[in-house]
Amino acid sequence: MTTNPTEPNETAPFGTFRPDSWLEKLLSITQVCGQGWLSRRLAFALRAVGVALLNGKPADVERMGARFRLYPDHNVCEKRILFTPDYFDRAEREFLASRIVPGFVFLDIGANVGGYSMAMAALAGPGARILAVEPQPRIFERLVFNIRQNPFGTVKAVDCAVADRNGEVTLFIDPRNQGESSVKIVGSTGQSQLKVPARTLFDLVTQQGVDHVDAIKIDVEGAEDLILEPYFREAPEALWPKAILMENSVGVWQIDLPKLLAEKGYRPVAMMRRNLAYVRD
């Protein structure tokens, strides 16, 4: 039986939870597993063993050029970063990396514990500006901790949901994967609910003093339409993102979001396993 992470874990110095020798050996294998079917099956099996070895405790590691304290139990994002970082949306990260320019501005909507934000910060250098937006209080604490363990100085955590209105919204959380949350009811009926503050995307970028957006990643479990449709109505064209990476939720969106993006001058450039990539020239 696993134990719940406790608050002191977030105040203990980085390195307190470095993997022991057994877990380190296991991680050395899972990190080099290839993309083939058999390699992935092996990685997933060893990953399950590693989660059991941790028994609810975190692990302090360096991944994708950044330091992380990761809790792989009940958060798929942290599990992938810890055990199989090569499986952590590699094509998506390469797409975003290709959009890095001097003064890179990146919005990470649904940042979880900062996988995308930290990876982009490690690549973009000191002139970048990254907003990591995460509404879940417990996950937000982990995000803030991870930001503080790194020297980048370019990542700011924002604790709110992004929705179609300002105020308070109900956030639905999958208990089996605590990093998966949405302001829409999606997935299993066993979702827990939490009231959180919300802002529109336009209000967020205005309040944060953003003057342009080079790239935005939106992973909000089917609520991408609630974020982007009002943004294009409210925001001046100068604030429209040059590149968009979003979860493919075609069967969940209430509008034809790809059609809206086409009308705004975006063209699709990649379809990954779970995500869609668009650019505006």
Residue ranges of the domains in the chain? Answer: 14-87, 90-279
Give the pLDDT of residue 64.
97
The residue among 276 and 190 whose pLDDT is bigger is: 276
For 4, the token pair is: 């719940």
For 239, the token pair is: 């604030």
Beta bridge partners of 130: 106, 155
**Is pLDDT at 2 greater than 60 in this prediction?**
no
b/e per residue 210-219 (b: at least 16 CB within 10 A): eeebbbbbbb
Can you tell me the mean pLDDT for 204-215? 98
Range list of H helices, the chain: 21-30, 37-54, 76-83, 90-97, 115-124, 137-148, 201-207, 224-234, 257-263
Can you tell me the mean pLDDT for 139-147? 96
Q: What residues contact 275, with CB distance under 8 A and at least 6 apart?
A: 89, 92, 219, 245, 246, 247, 248
**Is pLDDT at 222 greater than 50 in this prediction?**
yes
What Rg value do the Cα atoms of the chain yield, rounded? 18
Beta bridge partners of 276: 246, 271
Beta bridge partners of 277: 245, 270
* Orientation of helix 21-30 relative to helix 76-83, angle to 10°: 90
Q: Output the pTM of the full model.
A: 0.92
Give the pLDDT of residue 4.
45
CATH architecture of 90-279: 3-Layer(aba) Sandwich (3.40)
Can you tell me the mean pLDDT for 158-182? 85
Taking the C-alpha atoms of residue 192 and residue 173, their distance in angstroms, rounded to an integer, is: 5
Angle among Cα 200, 204, 205 to the nearest 5 degrees reads 120
Beta bridge partners of 247: 275
N-terminal to C-terminal alpha carbon distance within the chain: 52
User: What does DSSP assign to residue 236?
Assistant: -
Q: Which residue has the tokens 């342009």?
A: 212
Can you tell me the mean pLDDT for 146-166? 96
Secondary element (H or E) of residue 178: strand 177-182
